[in-house]
């Protein structure tokens, strides 16, 4: 990545005839809230590891590209700067046909002509089309520089209507009224409860997913918890002692920090829907994200409450502090054997990427169960107990299970299938997008791959011809530890486009270190809840003549 960076810098320097370009620029955090006032730094990274490095390089490229674009467009003038537009008007300008408008503060810009020049790629700028730039500049803060602002000024067409700045009134009887404000880049699958995923281009832009665009899977309204009065109740073992732990108490346990990928069981459900209707949210490829989590180990907390591994099978049940109008809380469980195994590294996490957990991700404490389906990573954790049986929660017993394609809602017997714990090997293509047109010559294909149970991804095969022939992709991201490969690998393949090819059927499939592979097609793994969708991912693109 650094080599690539240097090469690009060199070429850009030559093109721009600039004498010097800073090769590293520090990321400054920006606000991600709705009204775009600075709130609290949500993207401050102080480390110098490969993930933050990646961000910097990306940011630098964006900055340089902006400079380059500025050279080409210095003669534009902002004659129409006195016009006033409503937010609604801006939001209707999202295509080359209507014009592509964005806002920054109170200013409105028509960037239609700039989109194709955007160094991060047109698709990334298009994510902001019809709305504010701030949330995206928060992700790639290098934009916040004078030369980028000067460039943008050339495209100014007017001002936002000041009345539009008033926050919308909220319906106070709405249980979701107090949900936090989200990043506009998220693709929303459901507003209430809030479920959303990052767009694929952003998903694999970073090995560590920035908190604001980490996929969000809520089952209920987001509780608003006071960290000072928060207590985690841990039911003691017979003869042991129940615990009521404050946040400070949790911080007093030895601190562990691990990188873990979370994936929703319903990731890629939309592909199952194409086979036959299922019940569930229409997740595309983005119900998966990776963060650096810090917290106390569950095994240490359980030990303090007097629990130990027993011969008979037992389960650790978690209850969230989110609840429905009847007071029923979200709940789930994992086997005690996993919870008590120090090697399984199950955390009671209070930090996500160096910050307190965002509200959408379980503030102040959530469970992180490496290698296990997202549904067991209970957020807003209120209660932990050890039981002889799995959690009686709906989400443990009547959801998040896999069935044969022959099973429908009339014949399903939820007791006949085990609850999903470890997930099977998974991979998906994030670039190019389905239906996109790619340049002839060479195509760059990017994506992610991950497997459950700590199994490392050892290979990703990519095909340009629908699976007839294969090439091995290059794996990026951190090396994985044996048996503890909790985090994904990002991957890419640069491949020549076969001459004369007008279309490509791009396919990817991953292999984990148990040599598990993904199935070829979706229909034979179809199931009525649309979970466990891990067939080969397929993207059809056109080649520009």
- The total of other beta-carbon atoms located within 10 Å of residue 385's CB is 19
For its own copies, the binding residue among 96, 471, 474, 498 (CB under 8 A) is 471
392 touches its own copies (CB under 8 A): no
**Can you state the percent helix, strand and coil of the chain, rounding each to 5?**
25, 25, 50
CA 417/CA 486 separation, integer angstroms:
25
What are the CA-CA distances from residue 71 to residues 59, 60, 94, 332, 397 (Å)? 19, 17, 25, 57, 61
Q: Give the torsion sign (CA, 124, 127, 132, 138).
A: negative
Query: Does the annotation mark 400 as catalytic?
Result: yes
Closest CA to 428 of 527, 522, 526, 524: 522
**Are 216 and 194 within 8 A, CB to CB?**
yes
Please choose, out of 2-10, 195-203, 269-277, 403-411, the segment that lies near its own copies by the rule CB under 8 A.
403-411
Q: Which is nearer to its own copies, 282 or 513 (CB)?
A: 513
Place of tokens 């195994």: 341
| Distant-in-sequence, close-in-space partners of 260: CB < 8 Å, separation ≥ 6 | 290, 291, 293, 368, 370, 486, 487
Which DSSP state fits 8?
Answer: H
Tokens of 272: 């199952």
Query: Does the annotation mark 515 as catalytic?
Result: no
487 touches its own copies (CB under 8 A): no
Q: Which is nearer to its own copies, 385 or 518 (CB)?
A: 518
Q: Which is nearer to its own copies, 352 or 458 (CB)?
A: 458
515 touches its own copies (CB under 8 A): yes
43 touches its own copies (CB under 8 A): no
For its own copies, the binding residue among 402, 433, 476, 505 (CB under 8 A) is 402
176 touches its own copies (CB under 8 A): no
| Distant-in-sequence, close-in-space partners of 474: CB < 8 Å, separation ≥ 6 | 491, 492, 493
SS3 at position 522: coil
Query: Does the annotation mark 542 as catalytic?
Result: no
1 touches its own copies (CB under 8 A): no
Q: Measured from the CB of residue 525, what is the shortest distance to its own copies in angstroms?
A: 6
Span 84-123, contacts to its own copies by CB under 8 A: none
266 touches its own copies (CB under 8 A): no
**What burial letters (b/e) apply to 319-350, b meaning 16+ CB within 10 Å?**
bbbbbeeeeebbbbbbbbebbbeeebbbbbbb
223 touches its own copies (CB under 8 A): no
For its own copies, the binding residue among 48, 313, 389, 465 (CB under 8 A) is 313
- Annotated active-site residue in 85, 140, 400, 448: 400
Please choose, out of 32-40, 96-104, 276-284, 451-459, the segment that lies near its own copies by the rule CB under 8 A.
451-459
Q: Measured from the CB of residue 482, what is the shortest distance to its own copies in angstroms?
A: 6
Which helix (H) or strand (E) element contains residue 306?
none
C-alpha 105 chain-centroid distance: 26
Q: Which is nearer to its own copies, 98 or 469 (CB)?
A: 469
For its own copies, the binding residue among 143, 156, 376, 459 (CB under 8 A) is 459
Span 327-346, contacts to its own copies by CB under 8 A: 335, 337, 343
For its own copies, the binding residue among 276, 483, 540, 542 (CB under 8 A) is 483
Q: Measured from the CB of residue 428, what is the shortest distance to its own copies in angstroms?
A: 17
13 touches its own copies (CB under 8 A): no
Query: Does the annotation mark 264 as catalytic?
Result: yes
- Strand duo 232-234 + 381-387: pairing: parallel
Q: Which is nearer to its own copies, 84 or 517 (CB)?
A: 517
CA 526/CA 529 separation, integer angstroms:
9
- Annotated active-site residue in 183, 219, 230, 264: 264
Place of tokens 């009204």: 35
417 touches its own copies (CB under 8 A): yes
Which DSSP state fits 176?
Answer: T
- State the helix-helix crossing angle for 50-72 and 2-16, rounded to 10 degrees: 10
For its own copies, the binding residue among 133, 461, 508, 543 (CB under 8 A) is 461
- Annotated active-site residue in 143, 183, 489, 537: 143
299 touches its own copies (CB under 8 A): no
Query: Does the annotation mark 143 as catalytic?
Result: yes
Which helix (H) or strand (E) element contains residue 321?
strand 315-323
Enzyme catalytic residues: 118, 143, 217, 264, 400
Binding stretches for its own copies (CB under 8 A): 313, 335, 337, 343, 402, 404-407, 417-418, 420-425, 452-453, 458-459, 461, 467, 469-472, 482-483, 509, 511, 513-521, 524-525, 532
């Amino acid at each position: 990545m650094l080599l690539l960076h240097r090469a690009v810098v060199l070429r850009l320097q030559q093109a721009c005839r600039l004498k010097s370009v800073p090769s590293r620029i520090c990321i400054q955090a920006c606000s991600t809230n709705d009204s775009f006032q600075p709130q609290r730094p949500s993207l401050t990274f102080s480390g110098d590891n490969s993930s933050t490095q990646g961000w910097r390089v990306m940011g630098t490229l964006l900055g340089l590209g902006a400079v380059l674009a500025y050279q080409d467009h210095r003669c534009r003038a902002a004659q129409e700067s006195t016009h006033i537009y409503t937010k609604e008007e801006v939001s209707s300008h999202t295509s080359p046909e209507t014009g592509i408008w964005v806002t920054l503060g109170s200013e409105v810009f028509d960037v239609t002509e700039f989109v194709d020049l955007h160094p991060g790629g047109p698709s990334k700028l298009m994510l902001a089309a019809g709305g504010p730039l701030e949330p995206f500049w928060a992700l790639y803060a290098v934009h916040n520089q004078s030369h980028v602002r000067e460039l943008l000024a050339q495209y100014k067409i007017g001002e936002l209507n000041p009345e539009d700045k008033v926050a919308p009134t909220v319906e106070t009887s709405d249980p979701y009224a107090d949900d936090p404000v989200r990043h506009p880049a998220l693709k929303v699958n459901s507003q209430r409860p809030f479920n959303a995923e990052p767009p694929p281009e952003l998903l694999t832009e970073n090995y560590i997913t920035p908190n604001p665009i980490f996929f969000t899977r809520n089952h209920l309204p987001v509780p608003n918890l006071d960290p000072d009065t928060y207590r985690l109740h841990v039911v003691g073992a017979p003869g042991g002692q129940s615990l009521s732990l404050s946040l400070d108490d949790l911080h007093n346990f030895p601190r562990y920090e691990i990188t873990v990928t979370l994936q929703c069981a319903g990731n890629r459900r939309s592909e199952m829907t194409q086979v036959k209707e299922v019940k569930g949210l229409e997740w595309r490829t983005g119900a998966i994200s990776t963060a650096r989590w810090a917290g106390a180990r569950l095994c240490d907390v359980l030990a303090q409450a007097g629990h130990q591994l027993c011969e008979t099978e037992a389960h650790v049940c978690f209850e969230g502090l989110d609840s429905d109008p009847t007071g029923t809380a979200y709940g789930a469980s994992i086997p005690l054997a996993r919870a008590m195994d120090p090697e399984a590294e199950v955390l009671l996490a209070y930090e996500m990427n160096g910050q307190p957990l965002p509200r959408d991700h379980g503030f102040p404490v959530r469970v992180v169960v490496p290698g296990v389906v997202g549904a067991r990573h209970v957020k807003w954790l209120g209660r932990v107990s050890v039981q002889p049986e799995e959690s009686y929660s709906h989400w443990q017993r009547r959801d998040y299970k896999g069935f044969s394609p022959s099973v429908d809602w009339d014949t399903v017997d939820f007791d006949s299938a085990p609850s999903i714990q470890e997930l099977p090997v998974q991979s998906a293509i994030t670039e190019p997008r389905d239906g996109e047109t790619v340049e002839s010559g060479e195509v760059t294909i990017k994506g992610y791959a991950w497997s459950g149970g700590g199994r490392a991804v050892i290979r990703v095969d990519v095909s340009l011809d629908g699976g007839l022939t294969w090439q091995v992709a290059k794996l990026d991201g951190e090396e994985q530890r044996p048996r503890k490969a909790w985090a994904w690998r990002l991957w890419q393949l640069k491949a020549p486009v076969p001459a004369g090819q007008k279309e490509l059927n791009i396919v990817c499939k991953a292999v984990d270190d148990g040599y598990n592979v993904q199935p070829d097609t979706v229909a034979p793994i179809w199931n009525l809840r649309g979970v466990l969708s891990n067939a080969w991912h397929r993207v059809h693109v056109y080649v520009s003549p």
